[in-house]
C-alpha cells in the first residue's frame, strides 16, 4: 500500500510565522468507530464531519492505544502510552491508593496554559451540553424541576492519575479575552444510545425530531459474527443515529467558529476515544474496538488530503503542541505526524487491561498488513463476566442465543469459546473483521515470530507496567463496592478465585 505522505507533510506550513497564534480545538467523542460517510458508511449521511475531511486531512489508519475511556484519555492528555505512566487499568487510582505522573510528564492543558493559552473543556456550545441537549434537560429531553441543581458545564476528563483542576480555565472559550484558546469539545457520541431498547427508541424519536428521520434497523450492516437478531439490529440503528446527532453537534460548533470569525485560525482535530461499545468492540483490540476516525483541519493543512500511514491517538498531543509553537516534551511518546522530518511508524501498539472489576491483560502490535494480539490470560473467555457489559440488551441477547444453541458457528467461536488462543494473527487489511486467526498456520510462522518480537521490544522499551497489584485492585474495588451492585460483588469474588487458580 502506497502512502500519500509527502503531499500532506509538505503542505503543513510553519504556523509560528503567522501573526496570530492558532487556536486549537479537539473534538473527542465517546464510543464511536469510523461510521461516517467520508469513511465509507453508506447507511447514514454525516455532512459536518465530511466537511472537516474535505477541508483537511483524513487519516484512514488511526488507532487508540487503549480501547476504553479512562485509559485512552489518560494517554491522550499526556501524549504517553497509558502502560508507561501506569494509568492503563480502567477507572484506576480512584480509591485510597493514587496514581501520580512521573517527572517530565504533564497533561497537555498545563503546557498550553503555561504558554499563554486560555484552556477550556466543555460542549463547544454555550447553550447545549455534551449530549447536544439544552442545559438542564433530562435524558429524554424533559425539563428538570424548577430549582433542581444543574450539572457543571466542564467536559469529560476521566483521567486515572492525580491532576490539578486549575489546568482548565473554563468550560468555554468565550471568556478568553485576547488569548488564543485550547478547547476540548467532549461529546457523548455512542453513549447517546443506551443499554435497553426503550431508551434507544427514545433516541430514534429524537433523531426524527432533530434530523427528520431515524435509521431503519433493516438497513444496517453488522459484522459477520453478530447475528441479525432484532435486538442487535435496533441497537445498531440507534448507534448510527448517535453518529448523526454527533455530526449535527459538530456542525453547530463549526458554525459558531465561523460566525465568530475564528475558524480559519483554528486547528480542529476530530477523533473518538475508541470504537463502538459492543461484544467485540470497546475494550478489545480488534478494529471494532481500536480503529478510530482521525481528521485534522486548519492552518497549513492540505484540503482533501488522505493519510494511509499508521498513527496513534496520542499523536494528537504532539501535533497540537507543535502547531502552537510549544516545545514537545522530550519524554512524550506521541509524535508530530505533520513534522517535515516525520518518519512514518512501522507499527502501532495497543493494550487492554482491567475494565471495572474484570481483570484482563491483552497487548497488540499492528503493522502494514498484520495485527498481532497476545492474550496473557488465555484460559479466560472472551466475554468474561462484567457488570457494565452484561447489563446491555445486546450482550444479553447474545447470551440467550448462545444458551439456546442458535448462534452461528463464527459467533460461538469468536464470542463464546471458554478459552482463547494465547496468540492471534490476522491479515487485517483483507480480513476486515479479524475472523481468521493465522497464528497456528505454518505459512505465517515468520510473520508470527517477527510480530511477537516486535511486541516484546515495545513492552520493554516503553516500560509497560503490566498487571496491577492486589492492593491497588482492592483499593479501586472498594469504590465500586460502595454502589452495592451484587453483580460487581460476585465478579470480584470470581476474579480473585481465578487468580488463585492461575487462570
Decide: residue 390, CB within 10 A, 0-12 exposed, 13-18 middle, 19+ buried.
middle
Tally of helices (H runs) and strands (E runs) in the chain: 14, 12
Distance of alpha carbon 464 from alpha carbon 88, whole angstroms: 9
CATH superfamily of domain region 5-135+153-340? Alkaline Phosphatase, subunit A (3.40.720.10)
**Mapping DSSP to helix (H, G, I), strand (E, B) and coil, where does residue 109 land?**
helix
**Mapping DSSP to helix (H, G, I), strand (E, B) and coil, where does residue 349 land?**
strand
Which segments within 86-215 are labelled E, that is strand? 118-122, 181-187
- For the beta carbon of residue 433, count every other beta carbon within 10 angstroms: 18
108-132 average pLDDT score: 97
Which tens digit of pLDDT belongs to each residue from 436-461? 999 999 999 999 999 999 999 999 99
Distance of alpha carbon 163 from alpha carbon 184, whole angstroms: 16
Residue 366 pLDDT exceeds 60: yes
Q: Which three cell numbers stand for residue 188?
A: 457523548
Model pTM above 0.75 = yes
- Tell me the CA distances in angstroms from 190 to 34, 42, 147, 376, 456, one per residue in order: 11, 18, 30, 29, 34
Residue 258 pLDDT exceeds 60: yes
Residue 17 pLDDT exceeds 90: no
Residue 317's closest CA among 125, 85, 94, 500? 85
Q: Where are the domains of the chain?
A: 5-135+153-340, 362-477
Which tens digit of pLDDT belongs to each residue from 376-392? 999 999 999 999 999 99
- 263 close to 299: Cβ distance less than 8 angstroms: no
pLDDT score of 142: 41
**Mapping DSSP to helix (H, G, I), strand (E, B) and coil, where does residue 171 land?**
coil
Q: Which three cell numbers stand for residue 125?
A: 456550545
- Averaged confidence pLDDT in the chain: 93
Residue 238's closest CA among 394, 85, 99, 391? 394
Which tens digit of pLDDT belongs to each residue from 137-178? 764 444 433 333 334 799 999 999 999 999 999 999 999 999
Which tens digit of pLDDT belongs to each residue from 287-299? 999 999 999 999 9
Amino acid at each position: 500500500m502506497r502512502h500519500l505522505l509527502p503531499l500532506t507533510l509538505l503542505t503543513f506550513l510553519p504556523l509560528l510565522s503567522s501573526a496570530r497564534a492558532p487556536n486549537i480545538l479537539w473534538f473527542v467523542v465517546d464510543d464511536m468507530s469510523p461510521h461516517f460517510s467520508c469513511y465509507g458508511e453508506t447507511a447514514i449521511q454525516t455532512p459536518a464531519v465530511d466537511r472537516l475531511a474535505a477541508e483537511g486531512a483524513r487519516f484512514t489508519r488511526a488507532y487508540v492505544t487503549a480501547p476504553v475511556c479512562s485509559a485512552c484519555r489518560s494517554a491522550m492528555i499526556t501524549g504517553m502510552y497509558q502502560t508507561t505512566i501506569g494509568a492503563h487499568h480502567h477507572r484506576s487510582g480512584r480509591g485510597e491508593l493514587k496514581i501520580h505522573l512521573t517527572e517530565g510528564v504533564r497533561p497537555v492543558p498545563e503546557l498550553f496554559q503555561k504558554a499563554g493559552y486560555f484552556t477550556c473543556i466543555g460542549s463547544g456550545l454555550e447553550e447545549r451540553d455534551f449530549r447536544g441537549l439544552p442545559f438542564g434537560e433530562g435524558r429524554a429531553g424533559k425539563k428538570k424541576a424548577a430549582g433542581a441543581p444543574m450539572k457543571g458545564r466542564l467536559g469529560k476528563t476521566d483521567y486515572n492519575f492525580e491532576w490539578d483542576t486549575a489546568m482548565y480555565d473554563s468550560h468555554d472559550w468565550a471568556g478568553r479575552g485576547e488569548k488564543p484558546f485550547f478547547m476540548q469539545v467532549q461529546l457523548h457520541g455512542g453513549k447517546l444510545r443506551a443499554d435497553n431498547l426503550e431508551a434507544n427508541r427514545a433516541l430514534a424519536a429524537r433523531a426524527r425530531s432533530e434530523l427528520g428521520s431515524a435509521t431503519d434497523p433493516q438497513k444496517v450492516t453488522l459484522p459477520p459474527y453478530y447475528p441479525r437478531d432484532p435486538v442487535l439490529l435496533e441497537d445498531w440503528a440507534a448507534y448510527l443515529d448517535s453518529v448523526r446527532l454527533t455530526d449535527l453537534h459538530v456542525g453547530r460548533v463549526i458554525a459558531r467558529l465561523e460566525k465568530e470569525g475564528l475558524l480559519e485560525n483554528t486547528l480542529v482535530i476530530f477523533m473518538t476515544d475508541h470504537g463502538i461499545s459492543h461484544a467485540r468492540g470497546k475494550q478489545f483490540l480488534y478494529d471494532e474496538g481500536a480503529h478510530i476516525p482521525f481528521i485534522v483541519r486548519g492552518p497549513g493543512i492540505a484540503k482533501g488530503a488522505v493519510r494511509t500511514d499508521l498513527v496513534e491517538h496520542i499523536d494528537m498531543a504532539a501535533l497540537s503542541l507543535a502547531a502552537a509553537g510549544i516545545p514537545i516534551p522530550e519524554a512524550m511518546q506521541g509524535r508530530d505526524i505533520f513534522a517535515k522530518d516525520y518518519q512514518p511508524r512501522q507499527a502501532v501498539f495497543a493494550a487492554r487491561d482491567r475494565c471495572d472489576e474484570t481483570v484482563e491483560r491483552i497487548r497488540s502490535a499492528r503493522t502494514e498488513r498484520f495485527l498481532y494480539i497476545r492474550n496473557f490470560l488465555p484460559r479466560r473467555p472472551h466475554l468474561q463476566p462484567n457488570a457494565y457489559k452484561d447489563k446491555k440488551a445486546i450482550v444479553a441477547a447474545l447470551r440467550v442465543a448462545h444458551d439456546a444453541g442458535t448462534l452461528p458457528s463464527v459467533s460461538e467461536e469468536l464470542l463464546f469459546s471458554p478459552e482463547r488462543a494465547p496468540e492471534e494473527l490476522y491479515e487485517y487489511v483483507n480480513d476486515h473483521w479479524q475472523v481468521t486467526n493465522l497464528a497456528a498456520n505454518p505459512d505465517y510462522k515468520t510473520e508470527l515470530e517477527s510480530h511477537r518480537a516486535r511486541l516484546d521490544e515495545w513492552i520493554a522499551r516503553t516500560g509497560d507496567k503490566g498487571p496491577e497489584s492486589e492492593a491497588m485492585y482492592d483499593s479501586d474495588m472498594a469504590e465500586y463496592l460502595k454502589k452495592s451492585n451484587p453483580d460487581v460483588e460476585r465478579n470480584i469474588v470470581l476474579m480473585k478465585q481465578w487468580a488463585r487458580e492461575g487462570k
